[in-house]
Structure 1
């Protein structure tokens, strides 16, 4: 039996094919810079707690639909210690991987025909959620001249009147850009009391290399109109655990919890125990992860800029955003790199129309491989000679 027309109308996820490992490459060993899965092992305190929890009888049965008190208490403590944000249980929804919530949230919260602002460039799968909800995608341009922050004054009046959600993502995938507290303050001040609610994708929270990245919930009034989606996959090397949480506005959180009441039977207790251990050891784990990627960021950014290769400075996150040489677009340059250098990158076009002449590289490989990439790019640097902006 075929899938219905709505689902079949959604383009395939780019990352499904990117992670399939089926790409043909050149004569050198493949270096995969396409997928952002941190390369270190899950820290020992997390694994130890998961192993212990596996043998607890309570974790071998259905658990509480909305999660263990201990995990939610750890989230409350984590946000209090890390960001000075006071949360209650009604401000928390546990997530079976944050991608699911990011894609599903429009289906829980908007009516058909209502608008959702999505960052361009931005994470590709946001759009699938809006389309599945039969919503309307509104473009939220992220431009270099504005520090890759949206210019709210430039938004269309009719779109603003119909918009019910706006997605933000800092540190940014794919741009490596960050936002400061003043930006979030302006955002909350602009949209509180309007019909537009904010969803901040905080997947790369630990990866801010100049100063600690702020939570949008630190801004006054944020609990009236915003939620933040926090992933344990990246900072804690827990991508296989599929664990995260949403925190913030109680109405928005209740929508997630109500949806999951009907579609889930509660997060596996072992995952909750492992996640609780992760948050309790965050002070030891997250600085190591930040330092690792900060060094990689400096290594790659400084080397490529010295060669004259236009990479956007990586101020946060785990990705580099590179403008391709004249004569290429992202797709054709991806094919060129794969054929000539056995380097697999992500073309910019899945991230939106403003990504057509860009590629995204991931820093989630070892330093030895990154140095090999730098040497291979040295042989290509003349491609950018006398280049002009597209």
Structure 2
């Protein structure tokens, strides 16, 4: 295979390698706890809107590169309604064909070769690819248990001064930790007046179990240096639609829009119509999603507590961060669970060096499967002794 030098330096995507692969497992029926999306169907009203939009003549042609006016207005209204954040729909909104595109493309838009980018460790694995594609220098932003929050006073001053971009993600994938508004206030204060910019991956925004998840843009001065990337995949059960958006700092948004104007010719109009309908009509559905996953979290962790299986506090998102037994790392424990219990999980190592002794468990399962998985996990509690 011929690869450019730049592409050759980028490791294969863990999820690209594993999604859809044939899984060989033990004798029990397979329970997939590695899936990274909620398990429910897309609401019927959104599907009906999408179906009807297919027949609109204007959606069978090119649309405006940077999105329909009504979609951008729906985004503005959604942020005002949920976060009391005012946005300019032309200057502070960028629609995305899946939020991963924005997260991976951003460094090429605003970071120069050799500049430092701080990546959360543990954190979403594919941020790294964007940094390497920009010929920038990735550096770990170590997040420590149990809360996995940044501690700016513990980072080398020279590193902070030389950082061009910081990635944050709360609720955190993979740890299930959530941030308070103070965390974002402190982050904005830390980098105010500097050259550093911030991107907050808000993919699991709908899932906050101790409190509603705040937007980083609610912090004073946030739009001077930060953008937030929001996904419709998780909260609205629309992962296959590949729709999201970035909002916030004008210069960063305009850079993303310029990049996109050279890489694709606008989002399919029917997708925009479906997304507009979702944002305008399904606030109650987001709350139902949160209630479902909080109940699953409570039931699942109560069972783990019976046998003292060690896990980190899950205060948001859809994942639980389970510590491996003493004689295992994440990869060997993943193989053990698949062979012995027919449970598929994600090893912690792809999420950063500080995930080495963990596995990520998704709660995107129906109640029967979730309880069956719990009983199987409890059967190996002796490994933790």
TM-score by length of 1: 0.97
| 1:136-162 alpha-carbon deviations (Å, 9 max, x no partner) | 1111111126x2111101111222222
Where does residue 239 of structure 1 map in the other structure? 239
Where does residue 388 of structure 1 map in the other structure? none
Where does residue 172 of structure 1 map in the other structure? 172
| 1:68-116 alpha-carbon deviations (Å, 9 max, x no partner) | 0000000000000100000001100000000111011101110000000
| 1:174-193 alpha-carbon deviations (Å, 9 max, x no partner) | 01000101111111111121
Where does residue 286 of structure 2 map in the other structure? 286
**Aligned with 2:337: secondary structure?**
helix
**Aligned with 1:124: secondary structure?**
coil
d(CA) in 2 for partners of 1:292 and 1:24?
A: 30
Q: Which moved more, 1:93-102 or 1:299-308?
A: 299-308
d(CA) in 2 for partners of 1:168 and 1:31?
A: 30
Give structure 1 regions of 4+ aligned residues with deviation exceeding 3 angstroms.
none
Where does residue 274 of structure 1 map in the other structure? 274
d(CA) in 2 for partners of 1:322 and 1:276?
A: 37
Where does residue 59 of structure 1 map in the other structure? 59
| 1:191-215 alpha-carbon deviations (Å, 9 max, x no partner) | 1211111100000000001111100
d(CA) in 2 for partners of 1:17 and 1:86?
A: 40
1:109 aligns with 2:113: no
Where does residue 295 of structure 1 map in the other structure? 295
Deviation at 1:299, TM superposition (A): 1.2
| 1:102-136 alpha-carbon deviations (Å, 9 max, x no partner) | 01110111000000001000000001110111111
8 Å contact 1:116–1:166 — kept in the other structure?
A: yes
d(CA) in 2 for partners of 1:233 and 1:34?
A: 16
Deviation at 1:17, TM superposition (A): 2.3
> Aligned ranges for residues 32-43 of structure 1 at < 5 Å?
32-43=32-43
8 Å contact 1:305–1:311 — kept in the other structure?
A: no
Where does residue 138 of structure 2 map in the other structure? 137
d(CA) in 1 for partners of 2:101 and 2:304?
A: 35
d(CA) in 1 for partners of 2:282 and 2:103?
A: 24
Q: Which runs of 5+ in 2 are unaligned?
A: none
8 Å contact 1:230–1:244 — kept in the other structure?
A: yes
Where does residue 122 of structure 1 map in the other structure? 123
**Aligned with 1:287: secondary structure?**
helix
Where does residue 252 of structure 1 map in the other structure? 252
Where does residue 15 of structure 2 map in the other structure? 15
d(CA) in 1 for partners of 2:279 and 2:24?
A: 40
d(CA) in 2 for partners of 1:157 and 1:18?
A: 38
Deviation at 1:378, TM superposition (A): 1.5
Where does residue 187 of structure 2 map in the other structure? 187
Deviation at 1:229, TM superposition (A): 0.2
Where does residue 24 of structure 2 map in the other structure? 24
Size of the aligned set, in residue pairs, is: 384
**Aligned with 1:228: secondary structure?**
strand
**Aligned with 1:25: secondary structure?**
coil
d(CA) in 2 for partners of 1:277 and 1:381?
A: 47
**CA RMSD in angstroms, aligned pairs only:** 0.9
d(CA) in 1 for partners of 2:302 and 2:124?
A: 25
Q: Which moved more, 1:10-19 or 1:66-75?
A: 10-19
Where does residue 219 of structure 2 map in the other structure? 219
| 1:259-297 alpha-carbon deviations (Å, 9 max, x no partner) | 011111000001100000110123221011111111111
Deviation at 1:339, TM superposition (A): 0.3
d(CA) in 2 for partners of 1:106 and 1:191?
A: 18
**Aligned with 2:376: secondary structure?**
helix
**Aligned with 2:320: secondary structure?**
strand
**Aligned with 2:104: secondary structure?**
helix
